[in-house]
Amino acid sequence: MIIAVDIGGTQIRVALLDEKFNILTKKSFSTGIDSLPDRSCSMIAKEIEELKYSYTLSDFKCVGISTPSFNRLTGKMINPPNLPRWNNFPVVDFFKSSLGLPVVAGNDASLAAWGEYKSGAGQGVQNLVYFTLSTGIGGGLIINEELYEGTMGFSGEIGHISVVSDGELCKCGNRGCLELYASGPAILRAAISRIKNGENTSLKINTDLTSEDVFIHAQRGDLVSNKIVSDVGTYLGQGVVNVMNMFEPQRIVFGGGVSESFDLLKPHILNYVERYAMTHFEKSIDLRKSELNENSSLIGAAYYASMHQ
């Protein structure tokens, strides 16, 4: 069996998978902008130790970790924008010493791409790009049936493609990043800004307002919500055309929480593709929603760990 861990900007998830990569059990913990790595990873290690009581130690083969901003050469996280206190945290060494099992780690979006390619919406093609739309925006690349990570593991940073010239300042240090205009927090910021500007909308500012509410109100016909969805889809279209031109993928898969509303975003993405993609693409690209949903990174981490045993 394989233990998989997915470290994200809002939550950490731990899962146990069998040899066929089926999830047997899963548990989650909250993270956030102020979360501390030692405390969070100690909670993960404790959960894994509890799993050991239910199974014999020989059942456990390895641990695969999906994490943002991971440097595969050093085993450390480098300036993760949504987990600033985790900078330079030696995540691999921490779990090797605390668990006594083989541990491998990779960037979250890359491993999500690998999961979708192996057993989700990416099956059947040789070249694939994966977009994860969540607290941030990331990407993963499958090139000629292999996961492409780059030398340090930072390939596919799609969220930091500039889509607005001299736009907002990103936590990464760049300006106008796609992540600032099409992630979950970006959608919520756009909604709050329009409400405060007095625009006529059914959206209301309250402590429970989420990016998901924008899509719900858009479906109900709210014009402001529909304009936000249109803008987000257009920004994503810019990102899609950029990766089409760079990698010529056969398919692009969208995952992450925001992708739950992919059907509303897709027409706007395709509209941009039709207008701006190079001629040889014939104004089209195969766009699909993730099939593994929130488990893409977990399952990808398990495949990745198995591959590196």
- Nearest alpha-carbon partner for 131 in 257, 215, 8: 257
Contact 247, 141 (CB under 8 A): yes
pTM of the predicted protein model:
0.93
Helix, strand or coil, per DSSP, at residue 36: coil
The whole-number pLDDT of residue 53 equals 76
- Nearest alpha-carbon partner for 186 in 155, 165, 159: 159
Whole-angstrom Cα distance, residue 48 to residue 52? 7
In the DSSP assignment, the letter for residue 175 is: B
The whole-number pLDDT of residue 308 equals 86
Which residues are CB-neighbours of 44 under 8 A, at least 6 positions away?
Answer: 5, 12, 14, 29, 95
The whole-number pLDDT of residue 257 equals 92
Which residue has 């799993």 as its token pair?
Answer: 51
Domains of the chain: 2-112+295-307 (3.30.420.40), 125-289 (3.30.420.40)
Per-10-residue mean pLDDT of the chain, 309 residues long, equals 91 93 93 92 91 74 93 94 92 93 95 98 98 93 98 95 94 93 97 96 90 97 98 98 96 96 98 95 95 96 92
The whole-number pLDDT of residue 9 equals 82
Which residues are CB-neighbours of 288 under 8 A, at least 6 positions away?
Answer: 121, 251, 252, 253, 254
